[in-house]
Structure 1
Amino acid sequence: MSVNIRRLSSKQADFSKQMNDLLSWESVSDDAVNGRVLEIIKAIRERGDAALVEYSQKFDRVSAKSMADLTFDKARIQEALHRISPEQRKGLELSAERIRLYHEHQKQESWRYTEADGTILGQKITPLDRVGLYVPGGKASYPSSVLMNAVPAKVAGVQEVVMVVPTPDDEVNDIVLAAAAVAGVDRVFAVGGAQAVAALAYGTETVPPVDKIVGPGNIYVATAKRHVFGKVGIDMIAGPSEILVVCDGGTNPDWVAMDLFSQAEHDEDAQAILICEDAAFIDQVEASINKLLPTMEREKIIRTSLEARGALIHVGSKEEALEVANIVAPEHLELSVADPESWLPGIRHAGAIFMGRYTAESIGDYCAGPNHVLPTSGTARYSSPLGVYDFQKRSSIIFCSENGAAELGKTASVLARGESLTAHARSAEYRMKK
C-alpha cells in the first residue's frame, strides 16, 4: 500500500496556510496528566523515598522494597562495561571521546579588564554544582542520550552528575549503565517518570537535589519538568523529532528516503520533510519511500508519521528553498546538495546542519561529536543545541576604585533620584569625594 504523504508546492495560492497547518504541533498536557503530575510532585516533596518507591512499584512494576534496591552502586555501573559486547563498548568509548573533544571547544573562560581609573569589570564562569540526567528506561532506552547529556556537563566542570533511569519490570539495560560509566556519571537511581523529576528537583532522603535537570522523557516527564522549572533549571521541553532535507536532485533518492525514515521511526508525531526544486526527483524519492518502507522494522510508525506530518515540497528556486527552511526552523537540517557551503549563509534557523550528500543525520545522533539534544518545534529560531554553556553560569565582577566610585556615583545618583530611589542615590553618594 502506497504512503499517502502530502505534496506541496510554493506556487500554490494557499501555500503559507498549508505550511502553518503542516508545522502546527502543541505540547500541551491535558488536565488529567497535569493534575496527576502535580499530585506526584506533592507526594515526593512530602514523603520522599517512601513515595518514590511506591510510585516505582506502581508505574514500573518493580520488586524493590526500598531505595537501596533502586540504587546502582559504582561496582554495578562499572560491571556493565563487561556485560556488553566489545563492539558496543568500543562504540560508546569512541563516541564519548568525540563528544568530549567537540565540547572542549565550547568551554568559556572568566575574563576582566581594567579601566583608566583602576575600576575593574569582568565575568566569572562557574560550573553548576550538581546536575540531574533523566534517561528513558526499559527496551526503548538511549545510551547515546547519556553521553550527549553527561559528557558536556563533565567538560563544563560539574562536580556531580546524578542519573535516573526507570527499570520497568526490573529490566536493567546494561548498555545504558555502561554509557553512564564511560561518561563519568557519579550516581544512578533506577527511578523514572514524574516522580524521578520531582526527586531530582526537591531531593529525598536518598536522591540529592540538583541545580538543573536535562534529558528526554514522555509527557509526564515533560510536564513535571515544566512544573519544577524555577526550583531548578531545565534544558528544554522537547517536541517530536524532526528532519528537513533540502536536496538539489543529485543525491540517491534511496538515501533521501532513508534519511526521512530515520526521524519518522522515532514516533508517530515525528516530522520528516523534503524540499527540492526538481519535481521529477521528488517523484523518485516518493517511489523510494514506497519501495523501502516494507523493509523497515518500524514500518507502521514511519507510515503514520509520514502520512500525518510528513511532506514533499516543490519550490521554484534556491532562494525559495532557503525561505521555507527558515520558516520550518528544523531540529535537523540536511543540505544534501553539491555545494552546501554556498547555502550555509542563507540558513538562519536550524538546530544542527548536516552538510553535503554523505552526511547522514544519524551520524550526528551518535558519534559525530556535536550534541544531539536540539531545539524542536521551531524553537531553533531562538534557542541552541545543548552544550557546555548550559552547565556553566556567569557572574558579573565589578570592582570600583576610589576615583571610579566617585565618578560613577554621579551618574548613579542622578538616575536613582530620577526613579525616586533615595537610598540607592545616597549609597552611591557616600562614596563620592567631597
Structure 2
Amino acid sequence: MQHRSISRAARNNSVTAPLWTATAASGPVLAPLAGQVETDILVIGGGIAGTATALHLAERGSDVVLVEAGQPGDGATGQSGGLIAPDYIRHSPETIGQVLGQEAGERLTQMIGASAQGVFDLIERHNIDCDARQDGFYTPAHTGALADTQRGYANQWRARGHDVDFVAGDEVRRMFGTDRYCGALRFARGGSLNPLAYVRGLAAAAARHGARLFANSPVRSLERRNGGWVCRTPGGTVRAGRVVLAANGGNAALHPAMRRTTLPLHVFQFATAALDAGQREAILPQGGAFTDKVPYLFSARLDGHGHLISAFPMSFLVRGEEARFREAQRRLKQHFATMPDPQIDYLWRGLAWVNTSFLPEIYDLGDGAIAIQACNGRGISTNSVIGAEVAEMLVSGNREALSVQPREPSPVRFHAGAALLPKLLMSMAYLSN
C-alpha cells in the first residue's frame, strides 16, 4: 500500500500532538492543589528535573510537595525527541577543565559520562514502561577534520573509564543507512526512550514513595515570608521551608533572579509512519540514536513501534504548516535513499532552553531556594542525575554531593536580541544546507 506524502491526520491537524501522547502509558491521576499545605521542601515543575528530585527526596524519607502547572511532562520534556546523550554540547573531557578548572571539570565529566546509565538504572529500579532502548548514542562526523577530532574525544572519554569509541566511515554508513557521514563518536551507554512515559513513570514512583504531587496548579506567586516560602496557586497555598525551582524556562517567572538567564531554541520534532521491512533493514538496523554536528543539525532514532523520529531547527525561512511537513520530508529524503516518499504522521513543536555556557547549571537563590537549569538539549540524562544529587544535598546538607556547584544566576546580556539569535543562526544554516 502506497502512503500519501502527508497523512490525512497531518492535514486536518497541521501541527499534531507529539507522538508520545499516542504511545505512552497513562500517568498517575493527580488532583489540583486545594487548601493550605505545609511541607519541608517544595518542588515546582513536573518535568524530569522536578519529578526526579521529588522521587529521590521521597525515597530518603523527606516531606516533599511538587506542583505542576499542567500534567507531568506537559512542557519541554514531553515535546522532546527522547534522546539519552551522555555527552557535552561544545566541550570535551579535556577542554572543560579550561572552563571550570581541572577538579570541577573532571567532576562534571564523570557525572555526564555516567548520566545515561543512571537513567536506565532508574528505569529498571522503578519498573518504568517507557520504551527504553540502550542501544547507543552517536555524534557523526561529516568532515575528515571532525572525524579526527572525534577520535581524540573517544580517547579522552575512555581514559576516564567510559565506554566510548569511534566508529569508522564504512561501518557508520551500514549502521545508519546513509552515506553522509565519515565516522561517528559512539557512546555505548546512551540511547533513547519515550520521554512522556518516562516522566509519568517518575511521577508515579515519587507518589508511591510518599511525595505529594499536584497537577493543573500553576504558580501565581512565590514569596519569602516569616522565615519560609509561600507558594500560591489558583486553588491553594503551599508553605515550605525550602524550594527547588525545576520549571526550566518557566523559572524566570518564579523568581526575579532567574529572569533573562536562558534562551529558547525552538525546533520541530517529527515522526514517520512505521517503516516497512525494507526500510527497517536499511535505516539504523542495529538501533541507536544520533545527532550530527552540522550547523543545520539532523538527528534520527527509531522507537519500538518502528517510527523514525527526527527534527529540524525552527528558522525564519520555513513558514506555514505545509512548508514544515515538506521540510521534514526533504530532510529524510536527503539522508535516507530508502525513503523517496516519506509519510510524516506526527509533527510537533519542541523547545530546548539553553544558556550561554551550554552546561548544566544549579543556581543558589538564597534563603533555602535553588534552581535547576540543565536542559541545553541534554536534559533527559543530566536532569535525572542532578535530581538525585540535589535530593542528596538537601537531605545531607553536603554540597559536595553536587557535580555542578551552585552559583548566583546572571542574566544574558542584551537578552531580547539574544533570544532571536538561535532562530537567526538556524535560518543562515538552512541556507547553507
Q: Which protein is richer in helix relative to its size?
A: 1
**Which has the higher Rg, Structure 1 or Structure 2?**
1
Q: Which protein is richer in strand relative to its size?
A: 2
Both proteins in one fold, TM over 0.5: no
TM-score interval for Structure 1 and Structure 2 normalised by the shorter chain: under 0.3
Larger RCO (CA under 8 A, 6+ residues apart): 2
